[in-house]
Chain A
Amino acid sequence: MRIAVASGKGGTGKTTVATSLALAIAADGHSKTLQAGHEDALNPLFLDCDVEEPNAGLFLRPLLDQREEVGILIPEVDYQRCTFCGRCAEVCVWHAIAVVGRKVLIFPELCHGCGSCGLNCPETAIRDVLHVMGTLESGRAGPIAFGHGILNVGEAMAVPIIRQLKAKHSLAPGQGVTILDASPGTSCPVVETMRGADFVLLVTEPTPFGLHDLRLTVQVARDELSLPVGVVINRDGVGDAGVEEYCAAEGIPILMRIPLDRRIAEAISTGKALVEALPEYGPLFLDLYERIVEQLASRQEAR
């Protein structure tokens, strides 16, 4: 089961919820294995898809033992073959390649790596080379398998990194639950994170900003991608009743509430996961997980 954690508005607690959910599932799986000798321990896989600002690793502290550079495939011209016909420039909708006299100029920062120039070159004079835009790292945080992507500073496109992060971990065997931590916003990086998920958990705060951006994220997850959604209200007690009323009107289940509590803000500021700093939250996150499972089961029945 793949659970994407998103929010629209930044700083509502996506990473707090995602990391504690993973830790609670892992701890439960571990104790079940010990008690019953189960083989099917729930070893969650955690993918931090906020490649612009990947922070989950700060809280899960994984041992990262694998590292690879990733990016997009951009063109390189073989001058032995090129006749400067200009077809490559004609088909490039990004204007990332230009033929000037007897030179072919390539602008990697404009290239989307679609390969159209190479496909359309009549002389097969273009080949693909990797333009590095970031790094994927993976390893383990105790029982949790962990992976994240890091977009290089100055690079614009997050989506190729997210796509490759997901592709790299798609075949990892034996994983019960995958948790994908999204970036803030509602545009392409968030869509790429949600694509292929079974459930989208929306972490919000009960404020006008939180509500405004929650609505937009529901449009993406539920209306555009047809995925089931549920809400976690963080900093419950601050702000107003707008989020509550909206969820009731839209029939969106509120699966968990985390109260406004300065102790939580202080604990998280030091890099502790919520369930680590305040262990009483462990069972509450396990409840959250069970509610997500119930939501999915009732949706299956409804079909």
Chain B
Amino acid sequence: MKQLVILSGKGGTGKTSVAAALAHLASQEMRIVLADADVDAANLELVLNPTKVEEHQFMGGQVAIIDPQRCTLCGRCHEICRFEAIIHDSSAEGVEAYRVDPLACEGCAACVTQCPEQAIHSEEQQAGLWFRSDTRFGPLFHAHLFAAQENSGKLVTMVKQQGRLLALDEGRELLIVDGPPGIGCPVISANSGADLALLVTEPTVSGIHDLERILGTVNHFGTPALVLINKADVNPAHTHGIEAYCRSKGIALVGKLPYDTVVTEAMVHGQPVTQYQPEGAMARALREVWEQMRKRLNGAG
């Protein structure tokens, strides 16, 4: 079983649209599993029309809770919290209280251990849901992190692990992971264990800047990378620049996609673009990309 992760650094370069198209193409010749690792803005389900088979609670981190009955207002928790998560309220009537801002609380329990009255305890919070769904291309593992929750990296790991287990269990050949933007914790979680990373970029100053950083990140963790340039004709000079950059770094370029609003049309119709308009220039280019990817995946590992 091979694991492919799709990343970009910069958001909105087309990761999910490419992931959906690759899922469509790959599923015609092998048995695949899909994982949407962008758990705080999960969009793959919007083009795969999944049917939910399982739903599970995701327990995220701990949050501190102060028992006002026991609190003597000594202020020790407020003094030691490094996350500004303990709020000191004092009303006009002179009523004082300490409370926890659950969005700021990291769940470190420093206050729990330091409270002289044992008035604080930690409680595990449900931070989201994860699902196993069926799609026409194969099983999809996806999740919804609740608004403003932490621990997206942990949820990404959960979604991927489930996908991996199912793939191994059913002898499926490929796990496609649609990654989040950025280079931080959820990206590191999405990348871990991948045999190959496909980096989707665009020929803009931001796209190039962010490509360098995501490439640095996957290199740091030792994942081989391939580059795909989306909207390549928006700025041919920058596209050449990216090609030269990739050559200088010894990174293979697997293709270039045109700037084409057909991708958005396909999204509105809830389909990968390779299915929505199979004979268009975009679908043709994506089939080329898949050919390249398949060769690389067969060679990798």
Contacts and interface: CB of A to CB of B under 8 A. Distances in A.
B152 A58 contact: no
Contacts of A50: 182
Most chain B CB within a 10 A radius of its CB, from A9, A53, A157 = A53
A2 B284 CA distance: 47
Most chain B CB within a 10 A radius of its CB, from A116, A185, A266 = A185
Interface residues of B, number: 65
Interface stretch (B212-220, B244-252, B290-298): B212-220
B268 A208 contact: yes
Interface string A114-152: 111001100000000000000000000000000000010
A268 interface: yes
B261 A260 contact: yes
Nearest to B106: A112
A278 interface: no
B264 A207 contact: yes
B86 to A, nearest CB: 12
Contacts of A195: 103-104
A262 B40 contact: no
Contacts of B180: 185
29 contacts: A9-B11, A52-B181, A52-B213, A53-B210, A53-B213, A55-B205, A58-B205, A59-B205, A73-B82, A91-B109, A93-B107, A93-B122, A94-B108, A153-B213, A153-B217, A154-B217, A156-B153, A157-B184, A185-B181, A185-B182, A189-B182, A195-B103, A207-B264, A212-B41, A224-B103, A266-B235, A268-B206, A269-B203, A269-B204
B267 A158 contact: no
Contacts, number: 198
A265 B259 contact: yes
Contacts of B11: 9-12, 53, 183-184
A239 interface: yes
Nearest to B219: A153
A154 B148 contact: no
Nearest to A9: B41
B181 A184 contact: yes
A256 to B, nearest CB: 18
Interface of A is mostly: loop
Interface of A: 8-12, 15, 50, 52-53, 55, 58-59, 73, 91, 93-94, 112-116, 119-120, 151, 153-158, 183-189, 191, 195, 207-209, 212-213, 216, 219-220, 223-225, 238-240, 260, 262, 265-266, 268-271
Interface in B109-154: 109-110, 113-114, 122, 145, 147-150, 152-153
Interface string B175-206: 00000111111111000000000000011111
B130 to A, nearest CB: 15
B106 to A, nearest CB: 6
B112 to A, nearest CB: 9
Contacts of A262: 234, 259
Nearest to A53: B210
B80 A115 contact: yes
A219 B147 contact: yes
Contact of A224 (B83, B148, B259, B261): B148
> What are the 8 tightest A-B residue pairs by CB atom distance, in nearest-first order?
A10-B11, A11-B12, A114-B108, A52-B182, A184-B11, A116-B110, A219-B147, A271-B205
Given A10-B12, A53-B181, A191-B103, 13 more contacts: A11-B181, A12-B12, A53-B209, A91-B113, A93-B62, A112-B108, A114-B82, A153-B220, A154-B220, A158-B182, A195-B104, A224-B148, A266-B235
